[in-house]
């Protein structure tokens, strides 16, 4: 461990608030051209066709492709510091072996293999995220991903120094994994799932991390909150010292859909649901699940209307959103069971005129994955609605999954939304989301990007695995449904509250980061953390990070609150329990079990 080990020195995500041409054509273009946009209202609508070209911002390589490194470098040069830019890219590698590559990933860049197993596509080299663009601070390394590849790192260890919204899925690292930037600066991540890391994972300065259903060769250290579920090789339960929360299995999981090739044909694989999951899904080769040809998908290109997307859904097609920006002036309506909405390269939906960007009916098996939703300048009541209000059907056999779906209010421009995501459907699995009211960028201010609630769960039996929700004006998470469960939660309260009165919640000082409804009789959470950084008025006092009814069926394990450098303080951890934070030392106050 380096001499300035983060386990012994203060570390502050809040510092991020103070620091303030198209790609080359894809190699694979053998599929038919995409259907045209919706015709005018005076003409009969043509039936939309499935399949199509993936567009200029999806780069598909095979081992014989020339200039692969140069093309990777071109994309990185565009995206390295383009935090709120409009570029979106997917880098796809057909099965085979590649030598001498270093794929550096910037903003809105996804890299993935196109085999059924990560081991079908092997890179002798690295997939690198570092923080040179931000003077060695990795706390803003958002919106990038790596999936379905095997890596043989050039020096034995791959560097993946990310913050929120940067999943590492279905990866096989034949070596070690370093989660810190060069120089071990601040870092605020992160998420690993369905991956095998043969060597040791070194988080170093990472303040929190969640690893699910994986196999690892070891884990070096922990700063505040390291959570594992279903991970072979995970460290033993020891919170708060070291701060490891370890569950032997994940209660329910279903891995994210992914694109792959079979011969010259693109297909989408849909992994099956697992209960009591542990380890990777692909350990014995082909994963278990079903497969759909690309011809069953409407391949959407930026500029297509919401009306056309809904026409495709009405026809029974699934949606594949290719990289780019999509303005929607009406909700995308997913009304059919087992529909897949899959984004590539951080395809982004912008809610225009105060609409809800996407609504799911009370149907089972829907899979939402791999896209970003931005609020527009006109306030939306909600941005994503999973199930209508009052949804009550039992979806335990075939749940809705929401995976790598990220929501943003402000930052890239003006945006407002009263509630970002509402989950009404029973048995929904929210597997890795970052729901963010921006604390920096354009259109940012206490009222400028007003957003009262991050995630509201009204449905019963909902499971969240990897829940990141930050900076909302009131409750970041409000959980009203029965039998809810959360494994790993990361939160920062809104930095920009102007004074104590602005956050006052009746007689309570501040809104909890995570609030369980007073009527709820059963709820459980593991490894939950909330941080405050009230830099506008450092004298603000937050009574607690967590609020819940005190009854035997409502249980929490391994909670913490942290004041970042003394900018605001917590009086308690949960309800009236737990020691206050104190002074300027960035040291967590913890509660191991509640009640």
Q: Is 492 a catalytic residue?
A: yes
Burial class (CB in 10 A: 0-12, 13-18, 19+), 414: middle
Contact 382, 146 (CB under 8 A): no
What's the CA gap between 234 and 218, in Å, rounded?
7
Buried b (16+ CB within 10 A) or exposed e, 349-362: bbbbebbbbbbbbb
Which stretches does DSSP call E strand in 471-545?
A: 477-479, 484-492, 514-516, 523-532, 541-542
Q: What end-to-end distance do the CA atoms of the chain give, in Å?
A: 36
Residue count of the chain, please give it. 595
**DSSP labels, 526-569:** EEEEEEE---S-TT-EES-SEE---STTEEEEEEEEEESTTSSE
What's the CA gap between 23 and 29, in Å, rounded?
14
Phi (first) and psi of residue 403, to 5 degrees: -130, 125
What's the CA gap between 543 and 340, in Å, rounded?
42
SS percent in the chain: helix, strand, coil, step 5: 5, 40, 55
Q: What is the CA radius of gyration of the chain?
A: 22
Beta bridge partners of 297: 318
Going by C-beta distance under 8 Å and a sequence separation of 6 or more, which residues neighbour residue 263? none
Q: What count of other Cβ atoms lies within 10 Å of the Cβ of residue 61?
A: 23
Buried b (16+ CB within 10 A) or exposed e, 156-195: ebbbbbbbbbbbbbbbbbbbbbbbbbebbbbbbbbbbbbb
Which of 147, 255, 470, 492 is labelled catalytic? 492
Q: What count of other Cβ atoms lies within 10 Å of the Cβ of residue 1?
A: 12
Active site residues: 492
């Amino acid at each position: 461990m380096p001499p300035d080990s983060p386990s012994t020195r203060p570390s502050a995500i809040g510092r991020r608030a103070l620091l303030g041409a198209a790609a080359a054509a894809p190699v694979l273009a053998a599929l038919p051209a995409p259907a045209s946009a919706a015709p005018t209202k005076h003409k009969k609508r043509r039936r939309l066709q499935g399949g199509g070209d993936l567009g200029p911002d999806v780069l598909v390589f095979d081992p014989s492709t020339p200039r692969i490194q140069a093309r990777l470098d071109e994309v990185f040069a565009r995206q390295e510091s383009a935090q709120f830019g409009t570029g979106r890219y997917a880098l796809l590698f057909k099965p085979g072996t590649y030598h001498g590559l270093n794929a550096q990933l910037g903003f809105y860049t996804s890299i993935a293999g196109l085999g059924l197993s990560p081991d079908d596509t092997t890179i002798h080299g690295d997939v690198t995220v570092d923080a040179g663009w931000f003077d060695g601070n990795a706390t803003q390394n958002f919106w990038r991903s790596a999936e379905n590849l095997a890596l043989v790192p050039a020096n034995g260890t791959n560097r993946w120094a990310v913050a929120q919204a940067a999943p590492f899925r279905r990866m096989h690292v034949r070596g070690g994994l370093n989660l810190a930037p060069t120089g071990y600066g601040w870092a605020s991540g992160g998420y690993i799932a369905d991956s095998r890391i043969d060597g040791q994972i070194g988080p170093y300065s990472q303040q929190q991390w969640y690893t699910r259903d994986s196999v690892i060769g070891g884990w070096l250290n922990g700063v505040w909150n390291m959570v594992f579920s279903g991970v072979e090789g995970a460290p033993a339960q020891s919170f708060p010292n070291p701060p490891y929360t370890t569950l032997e299995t994940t209660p329910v999981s279903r891995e994210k859909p992914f694109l792959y090739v079979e011969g010259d044909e693109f297909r989408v694989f849909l992994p099956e649901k697992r209960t009591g999951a542990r380890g990777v899904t692909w350990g014995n080769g082909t994963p278990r699940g079903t497969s759909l040809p690309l011809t069953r998908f409407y391949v959407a290109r930026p500029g297509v209307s919401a009306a056309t997307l809904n026409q495709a859904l009405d026809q029974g097609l699934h949606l594949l959103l290719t990289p780019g920006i999509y303005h929607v002036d009406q909700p995308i309506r997913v009304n059919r069971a087992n529909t897949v909405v899959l984004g590539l390269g951080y395809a982004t939906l912008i809610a225009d005129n105060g609409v809800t960007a996407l609504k799911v009916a009370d149907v089972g098996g829907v899979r939402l994955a791999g896209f970003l939703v931005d609020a527009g300048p006109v306030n939306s009541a909600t941005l994503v609605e999973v199930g209508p209000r009052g949804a009550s059907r039992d979806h335990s056999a075939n749940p809705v999954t929401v995976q790598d779906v990220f929501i943003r209010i402000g930052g890239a421009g003006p945006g407002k939304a009263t509630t970002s995501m509402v989950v009404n459907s029973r048995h929904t699995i929210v597997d890795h989301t970052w729901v963010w009211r921006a604390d920096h960028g354009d259109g940012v201010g206490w009222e400028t990007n007003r957003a009262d609630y991050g995630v509201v769960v009204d449905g019963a039996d909902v499971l969240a695995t990897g829940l990141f929700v930050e900076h909302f004006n009131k409750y970041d998470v409000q959980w009203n449904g029965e039998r809810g469960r959360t494994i790993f939660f990361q939160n920062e309260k809104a930095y920009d509250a102007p004074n104590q009165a602005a956050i006052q919640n009746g007689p309570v000082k501040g809104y909890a980061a995570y609030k369980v409804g007073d009527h709820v009789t059963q709820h459980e959470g593991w490894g939950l953390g909330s941080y405050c950084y009230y830099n506008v008025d450092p004298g603000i006092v937050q009574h607690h990070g967590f609020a819940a009814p005190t009854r035997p069926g409502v249980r929490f394990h391994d909670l913490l609150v942290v004041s970042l450098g003394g900018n605001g303080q917590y009086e308690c951890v949960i309800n009236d329990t737990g020691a206050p934070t104190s002074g300027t030392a960035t040291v967590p106050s913890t509660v191991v079990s509640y009640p």
